[in-house]
Amino acid sequence: MITIFSSEHRQQAGTVELINGRLEAPVEKPSRADSILASVQSAMLGPVLAPKDFDVAAIERVHDPRLVSFIRTAWGQWVAAHGAWDALPPSSRARGMQVREPETIDGKLAYFAFDAGTPITAGTWTAARAAVDVALTGLETLGSGGRAVFSLCRPPGHHAARDYYGGYCFFNNAAVAAQKAIDNGAQRVAILDVDYHHGNGTQSIFYERSDVLFVSIHADPRQDYPFFLGYADETGQGAGEGFNLNLPLRWGTQWPQYDEALQTAIERIRHHAPEVLVVSLGVDTFEKDPISRFKLRAADYPKIGHAIAAIGAPTLFVMEGGYAVAELGHNVVSVLSGFERAG
Ligand code: 6XA
Ligand code: ZN
């Protein structure tokens, strides 16, 4: 399997995130992608290629140009206002509050961000753009005939919606790739999100559409982040009714319950008969993940890959979360080689 990777991901290297009431070193850090790359290479998964440069227009197919321009310019505005340390929002919007975009950088951070865990740094724009290029190059590579490609994206993307960012995500790499597949002529695309956290950004981008089916298995939003989306009764709206499937699971979930949800997801996706399947691949479902509370074991990851292969569609794996750095690369490669072995 070909892997697409850009060392530009290292440009996203925050110094703090707000976690459990403390400002701590971010768990979403450069060593994550480097350890995945090392495992891809030591397992001899296949060639590792650099991404091509794509135009920002591809990002603006799913994101508001104002968000894109904010991510591009925020660091400069922040440094001018405060200094060269991580930019975090001073507040966020609650129900019923005003929704106008403020003029100052602090106001804009509050307007575009939905959490204080996603620092904007000097290199955020470069890294976030490169991650989109990694996803789009993966899609293009898949188009030239392979069964599956791995886009080793970092920073991740699935929490980023049309006009807001958060959850370590700036641009929604998987959504940009899915939209590109549609723009290239596909009529049916599916996104399967197996990250521990609900892909609220991806869901909201495609919520009113029937061409891109979104299916997600994740921690119950009554218990875990991002809290405000991911319920089972969110089934899509308008033309998208029936094209959004959320399969929330409780803290402590182990393989038997997970597998049941995975089979339900796969059945729904097969019914959609996608011409392209995008997998938002997070392995923060792992029992030793520092921020998550599912109990999947290392031996479960090949089974996830094997199950996904049964969908039978050309598949683009797009990296999302997973923070147990020592085991991260191994678990990711387990999914990918489980997929390949299934043929
Ligand atoms: C809040 C937790 C962010 C979750 C990020 C993630 N600080 N999403 O892994 O998939
Ligand atoms: Zn996650």
Q: How far is CA 322 from the centre of its chain?
A: 11
pLDDT tens digits along 159-198: 999 999 999 999 999 999 999 999 999 999 999 999 999 9
| Confidence band of 1 (pLDDT split at 50, 70, 90) | very high
What residues have their beta carbon closer than 5 A to ion ligand 2? 195-197, 282, 284, 321
pLDDT of residue 93: 84
| Confidence band of 77 (pLDDT split at 50, 70, 90) | very high
Dist CA 279 CA 250 (whole Å) = 22
8 A C-beta contact, residue 34 and residue 119: no
Burial (CB < 10 A; 0-12, 13-18, 19+), residue 36, is: buried
Question: Across the chain, where does the E strand assignment appear?
Answer: 2-4, 17-19, 22-24, 48-49, 148-151, 189-193, 212-219, 244-249, 276-281, 315-319
Q: What distance in angstroms lies between residue 238's CA and the mean position of ligand 2's atoms?
A: 28
pLDDT tens digits along 109-149: 999 999 999 999 999 999 999 999 999 999 999 998 889 99
- The mean of the pLDDT values for the chain is 97
Ligand 1 interacting residues, C-beta cut-off 6 A: 19, 115, 117, 159, 167-168, 195, 197, 225, 282, 284, 291, 320-321
Whether the per-residue pLDDT at 97 is higher than 80: the answer is yes
Pocket test for ligand 1, best of 23, 92, 173, 225 (most atoms within 8 A of CB): 225
Whether the per-residue pLDDT at 98 is higher than 80: the answer is no
| Angle of CA points 6, 148, 210, to nearest 5° | 100
pLDDT tens digits along 211-267: 999 999 999 999 999 999 999 999 999 999 999 999 999 999 999 999 999 999 999
8 A C-beta contact, residue 329 and residue 36: yes
8 A C-beta contact, residue 255 and residue 297: yes
Per DSSP bridges, beta strands 244-249 and 276-281 are unpaired
> What pTM did the predictor assign?
0.98
Dist CA 246 CA 215 (whole Å) = 6
8 A C-beta contact, residue 202 and residue 214: yes
Q: What distance in angstroms lies between residue 319's CA and the mean position of ligand 2's atoms?
A: 10
8 A C-beta contact, residue 134 and residue 173: yes
Q: What is the DSSP string of 157-178?
A: -TT-BTTBBBTTBSS-HHHHHH
pLDDT of residue 271: 98
Dist CA 255 CA 166 (whole Å) = 29
